[in-house]
Structure 1
């Protein structure tokens, strides 16, 4: 049976790193849902692998056509992100569960539409750790970094809306904990 796994949490919680590990180590076959975005491609990114890079006009056209499972302007950046419904179909046709790495706002939309989704909120032990991780990336201006930190504080208030909460203070432990969750959920299918 096709299932949807939603992994989200504030910027700096380690979602991207955890996803890479889960795709290699999960006891359940997962297919990463590639998100669409209007932001520019970064060095080393590839269209269709990291994101579907869409123009604002194409994103809006597809949104109006109902092609998105969820979508949002993230961090008041002016850039839109979303999950195309077609990504769920790809996973289903491969006999895999869909793995969505989405922001908290997107996760709320998915959980509303699919209450049986396996929702996992990833967090760090404290707010200072988010700031340390975001600064170590060196990819955002100070203004954007401050917006992301403020967003993180707001998103933490929604952690109890998720079925599972995982603290990423040790990468191996966090990955193992999520793998245990997925194995347990597979028994209920």
Structure 2
């Protein structure tokens, strides 16, 4: 019986990718993340634990794992997080177990985290991590986008601009840096990076055995 097309395309098992998207608020990261999740089978969003209150429409376990401060501290002290940080007065952290399980099963996990989280994740997971930083075309354009959203006061926008300047200063801690001056082009670049990283030799877990079996056939 002839081999299926799936087995010919993927003769050995692949380890998953931890795919990080970071950017200043307003640079378009969330839009690109949504498009990537819709376009790429096998990619899932990391679900963080947080101490902030649940917002209308959010679902525990889907949007976030909502926990109180004591539970969060217990998880952090027990080493249950790949990374965690204080962000705008609340704590957010990425639980180890579901991410480890996804990696082993060849599923890819998308992270929407800042440079500190990306650094912690890389320290914990090393070669499994791919870090992409998305820049706005300029700070004036970033301010214009934040104002156009109409969701924040000028005080909040000014605080976001200050944070943006600090975040941009860490661009060199990423594997890829893109400028989002056209969302479709930027999305296509991000998608290309993900697809290329999936094909890396280091992620092909059965490659050595596959090559050895070919050599024995000679």
Q: TM-score range by the shorter chain?
A: 0.7 to 0.9
What SS is found at the alignment partner of 2:133? strand
Say whether the 8 Å CA contact 1:10–1:104 is kept in structure 2.
Answer: no
Alignment of 1:123-162 (within 5 A): 123-162=135-174
Report the RMSD for the aligned CA atoms in angstroms.
Answer: 1.9
CA offset at residue 86 of structure 1? 2.1
Q: Distance in 1 between matches of 2:115 and 2:48?
A: 14
TM-score, scaled relative to structure 2: 0.77
With over 3 angstroms needed to count, the CA separation of the structure-2 counterparts of 1:23 and 1:94, relative to structure 1, is farther
Deviation, structure 1 residue 45: 2.1
Q: Is structure 2 residue 97 aligned with structure 1 residue 101?
A: no
Alpha carbons 1:7, 1:101 under 8 Å: kept? yes
Distance 1:89 1:147, change over 3 A: same
Q: Which runs of 4+ in 1 moved over 6 A?
A: none
1:81 and 2:92 matched: yes
Runs of 5+ unmatched residues, structure 1: none
Q: Which has more radius of gyration?
A: 2
Residue-by-residue CA offset, 1:56-96 (whole Å, 9 max, x unaligned) = 2211111111111101111xx22111111123034236531
Contact kept, 8 Å, 1:31 with 1:91, in 2: the verdict is: no
How do residues 27-42 of structure 1 correspond to structure 2 at under 5 angstroms?
A: 29-42=42-55
Q: How many angstroms apart in 1 are the aligned matches of 2:108 and 2:95?
A: 15
The structure where helix makes up a greater share of residues is 2
CA distance in 2, matches of 1:42, 1:134: 21
Partner of 1:2: 16
What CA distance in whole angstroms lies between the structure 2 residues aligned with 1:47 and 1:93?
Answer: 25
Do 2:18 and 2:109's aligned partners in 1 also have CA atoms closer than 8 Å?
yes
Q: What displacement does 1:140 show?
A: 4.1
Q: 2:192 matched to 1:180?
A: yes
- Distance in 2 (CA, whole Å) between partners of 1:176 and 1:69 is 28
Deviations 1:111-130 (A, max 9, x none): 22233211100121111233
CA contact (8 A) 2:102 2:108 kept: yes
Moved more, 102-111 or 82-91: 82-91
Report the equivalent of 2:77. Answer: 64
Unaligned 5+ segments in structure 2 are 1-14, 204-218
- Partner SS for 2:56: coil
TM-score (norm 1): 0.88
SS of residue matched to 2:94: strand
Task: Report the count of equivalent residues.
Answer: 186
Q: State the Cα distance separating 1:142 from its structure 2 match.
A: 4.0
